[in-house]
Chains A and B, each alone.
Chain A
Amino acid sequence: MEANPMTQDIRPEITPEPPAPREAASAAMSEARSAEVPDTTFGVIEHPDPIINCRDVNVFYGDKQAVFDVNLDIGRHQVISMIGPSGCGKSTFLRCLNRMNDTIDIARVTGTIELDGQNIYDPKIDVVPLRARVGMVFQKPNPFPKSIYDNVAYGPRIHGLAKDKVELDEIVRTSLERAGLLGEVKDRLDQPGTGLSGGQQQRLCIARAIAVSPDVILMDEPCSALDPIATAKIEDLIDELRENYTICIVTHSMQQAARVSQRTAYFHLGYLVEVGETDKIFTNPTHKLTEDYITGRFG
C-alpha cells in the first residue's frame, strides 16, 4: 500500500450511526432501503496530490438525472475503486472522466472536472488528446478486429507517438510486456486479437490503453467476464501499473476493490455517498448505506 497521509476530515457534521444489531437484520434491511442518501458526501473527498478534481458533477440522460453533485478528488498514482449497486451511476461517472459520455447524444454533463488543473469540459478542450491522456478499458473486452500488433500499435500510430517502426515495435513490446501478455502472444503478433481468450483479450485492451502512455486509466468492471485466474492476473497488473499510472476502477467485487485500491468511493442512486481509504471503508464505514452494501445486506 502506498504511504499516503490523508487529510483530516473536514466535515464535522458527520455523525456515525451505530451498526444495526444482528437480531434486527430484516428490520435494518427495510430501514436501509429507506435510508436517505446524504446531502454531502461522507468521508474525505480531497487528496493531497490530486490528478483529477471533480466538482458538482451532474449527468443527465435526457430529462433523467443519473449522477448528482459528485465532488471527488482522484489521487495521482493511486488506484481508486468505485462500488455501488447496479444502476447507481458508476459507469456514467467514470465515462465523464474522459468525456466518453459525449458519444451518447442524450447525455449532458454539468460541473467541472479538472485534469491537472485544466477543466476538461472547457469548450476549448479537444477530446482527442484528452482521451490519449485518460485511457479506458471497457467491461467487455473489445479488441479491434485486427492483428494483436495492430491493436496495440493503433493508439501510438494515430497520435504519432513513434518516430519509426523500430520505436513502434518497442512500444508494442513494452506495452504487451507490462500488460503481462507478451509471453503468451509474442509468436503470434500478426494473429487477430479477437482470436485470444477473454482474459487475454482484456489484457490486450489494457496493453492497448497503456501503449499511448496515458496518465489515467479508467477501467469499467474489467474482470466481470473473466475467470478467477485471469482476474488475479489483471489485479496483479493493476497493482503494478499503479507505479506509473492513476487508475479508476469500477467493480462489483468488494474483494477486488479491497485488494487493488487505496481509496474507495461508494455510489448510491447517483449520489456519491461515501469516499475514503479502502481500509477504512471496508472496516469502518461511516454511512449506513455504505455499511449495508459492503456487509452484503443489499446491492
Chain B
Amino acid sequence: MNKIGDPGAAGRPISADQAMARVNASLRKRYGAERRFRVYGIASVTVGLAFLALMMISIVGKGYSAFQQTYVDLDIYFDPEVIDPDGLRDQESLMRANYNTLIKDSLLFLFPEASGRRDRRALGALISNSAAFDLQDMVITDPLLIGQTRRVSVLASADADMLNKGKISRTVPESERRVSDQQIAWLETLRDRGRFEKRFNTSFFTHGDSRDPELSGIWGATKGSFYMLLITLALSFPVGIGAAIYLEEFAPKNPVTDFIEININNLAAVPSIVFGLLGLGVFLNFFSMPRSAPMVGGLVLTLMTLPTIIISARASLKSVPPSIREAALGMGASQMQSTFHHVLPLAMPGMLTGTIIGMARALGETAPLLMIGMVAFIVDIPQGLFDPSTALPVQIYLWADAPERAFVERTSAAIMVLLGFLVLMNLSAIILRKRYERRW
C-alpha cells in the first residue's frame, strides 16, 4: 500500500487504491447524508399532510351535515275559516291570513295532549318560521287548495334539525339544552312515524344571512366576495402588471426606482388590517363611499394585493432569458415591441400564477374588511357593487361567533365552500400555466 506523498504511478499524490478506498469511504458518508435528507423530507411532508388531513377531517366532519336539512311531513288542512273567513278569495286577504295557525292545528291534531299555552308554543317551535310563508305561497298560487287537506313537507326548525341529526345530547340536563324533554318526545314520535325527511339544503346556497339558522345561507356572502374579487382583479391585474413591466423593462435604474422597489417590497409585508384602516380613512371618510360596499372592499383588497402581484410579475419578467430581448432588439424591434411580442408571452404564466395566488389571498382576507364595515348582519343579497354585503370569510367569522348550535355546522360548511373556491382558483392557475407553457 502506498502512503500519502509516496509517488505512485505517474507521480500521483495518492495511489489509485488509496484514492478508491477514500472515495468509497466518503461515498458511504455521502449516501448516508442523502438518505437522511430524504427521510427528513418525507417526514416533513408527512407532518404537513397529516395536519392538512386533520383540518379537512375536522371541517368536513363538522360541516357536511349542513348540506342536508330536516323537513317534517304534516297533514295541513287549509281551513277556510282561518285563511279566508269572509270568502273573498282575493290576494289581500290571502296574504294577511295567519298560516301559522294551520301548522299548529296540524301539529295539535298529531299531539292532542299538548293543550296548554306553553305546550302549544313548544310544539310550534319545532317548525321553522318560514313554513308559514311557504304555505302562503302555495295558497296564493293555487287558491283551490282552500278547504282541502294536503300532506306538506315543511322546514323543521334548527333545533328539530339538530336533534334529528343527533347533535343534541340527551344526557345533558334539560335545563341546559334548548330542546325540552317534551319536545324530544314529540320529535321522536314524528320520526318513528316516518314524518322526518332529510333533503339537500338548497337554502344554504340561495339565502343571505338570517337569525334563524335553518334559513341562513352563504349566497349573499358569496356574491359579496365575487363582486369584491371582480373589482380587485379588474384593478390589480392591469395596474400590477403594468407597473411591473414599466419597472422591469422601461424604468431607468436609478435611486428613485430603487426606492420604489424597496417600498413595494415593504408594502407586501404590511399587515392587512393596515390596508383596512387606510380604506376607512380614504374611501369611507374622505371620498364618502358607502359603508359595507363590495366596491370599497374591492379597492382595499386591490391595494393589498398590488404589491404581491407586482413582485411576482417582476420575478417572472426577470426570469425571461435576456437573449430573447437581445434577439428582438437586434432585429430592430422597439423596446415596447420586444416586451409585448416576446417577453410578455413568456412571462405570462408566472404573472397569472402570481395574480391568482394574490386573488386567492384576497378571497380569504378578513381583517381589512372588518375596518370598512363589511362585518354586519346583512340579510339581503347584494345586487350591485354599492349594496351592503359581507364576504365569505367574514360570514364564517360571524357564524363562528353565533351561539346557536346549528351555526356550528354552517360555519364549517361555509369554510368548505371557501376552500372549494380557493382550490378552484389554484386549479385554474395551474391550468392557465399549463396552457401557456404547452404552446412551446
Contacts and interface: CB of A to CB of B under 8 A. Distances in A.
Given A105-B252, A194-B440, A145 B346 contact: yes
A154 B331 contact: yes
A158 B440 contact: no
Contact of B331 (A103, A105, A146, A158): A158
Contacts of B327: 138, 142-144, 205, 208
A6 B346 CA distance: 49
B434 interface: no
Given A105-B253, A138-B323, A158-B337, A144 B328 contact: yes
Interface in A109-136: 127-132, 135-136
Contact of A212 (B253, B328, B331): B331
B334 interface: yes
Interface in A83-122: 98, 100, 103, 105
A135 B333 contact: no
A132 B345 CA distance: 23
A210 to B, nearest CB: 11
Contacts of A145: 324, 342, 345-346, 439-440
A142 B326 contact: yes
Contact size range, A: 20 to 34
A129 B333 CA distance: 9
B324 A142 contact: yes
A135 B440 contact: no
A142 B346 CA distance: 14
B332 interface: yes
Contacts of A205: 327
B323 A155 contact: no
A142 B323 contact: yes
Contacts of B329: 100, 103, 131
A158 B333 contact: yes
A215 B341 CA distance: 25
A140 interface: yes
- Interface SS majority for chain B: helix
B332 A132 contact: yes
Contacts of A192: 440
A135 B253 contact: no
A213 to B, nearest CB: 12
Nearest to B325: A103
Nearest to A151: B327
A259 interface: no
Interface in B321-365: 321, 323-334, 337, 341-342, 345-346
Given A105-B252, A145-B440, A140 B332 contact: no
Nearest to B320: A145
Contacts of A144: 324, 327-328, 342
Contacts of A143: 327
A209 B327 CA distance: 10
Contacts of B345: 145
Contact of B326 (A100, A130, A159, A209): A100
Most buried by B among A135, A154, A192: A154
Interface in B280-337: 321, 323-334, 337
A158 B326 CA distance: 16
A194 B345 CA distance: 15
A9 B330 CA distance: 35
B323 A140 contact: yes
Nearest to A99: B329
A225 B135 CA distance: 83
A131 B334 CA distance: 10
Contact size range, B: 20 to 34
Most buried by A among B324, B328, B341, B440: B440
Interface string A154-170: 11001100000000000
A96 to B, nearest CB: 13
Nearest to A100: B330
B341 A154 contact: yes
Contacts of B346: 145
A190 to B, nearest CB: 12
A218 to B, nearest CB: 8
Interface in B160-191: none
B330 A136 contact: yes
Contacts of B328: 144, 154
B255 to A, nearest CB: 13
Contacts of B252: 105
A107 to B, nearest CB: 13
A75 B276 CA distance: 68
Nearest to B252: A105
A132 B329 CA distance: 10
A205 B324 CA distance: 12
Most buried by A among B323, B329, B341, B439: B329
Contacts of B323: 138, 140, 142
A120 B346 CA distance: 32
Contacts of B334: 128
Contact of B332 (A142, A146, A158, A194): A158
Contacts of B333: 128, 154, 158
A204 to B, nearest CB: 11
Interface string A16-37: 0000000000000000000000
A192 B321 CA distance: 17
A144 B439 CA distance: 13
A37 to B, nearest CB: 29
Interface string B402-440: 000000000000000000000000000000000000011
Contacts of A128: 332-334
Interface string B28-49: 0000000000000000000000
Contacts of B331: 131-132, 135, 154-155, 158, 208-209, 212
Contacts of B253: 105
Nearest to A128: B332
Nearest to A131: B332
A167 to B, nearest CB: 18
A100 B335 CA distance: 12
Ordered nearest first, which 5 A-B pairs have the shortest CB separation?
Answer: A131-B332, A132-B332, A142-B323, A136-B330, A145-B440
Given A127-B332, A144-B328, A159-B332, 20 more contacts: A100-B326, A100-B329, A105-B252, A105-B253, A128-B334, A129-B332, A131-B329, A132-B331, A138-B323, A138-B330, A142-B321, A142-B327, A144-B324, A145-B342, A145-B346, A154-B333, A158-B337, A208-B331, A209-B330, A212-B332
Interface of A: 98, 100, 103, 105, 127-132, 135-136, 138, 140, 142-146, 154-155, 158-159, 192, 194, 205, 208-209, 212
8 contacts: A128-B333, A131-B331, A132-B331, A140-B323, A155-B331, A205-B327, A208-B327, A212-B332
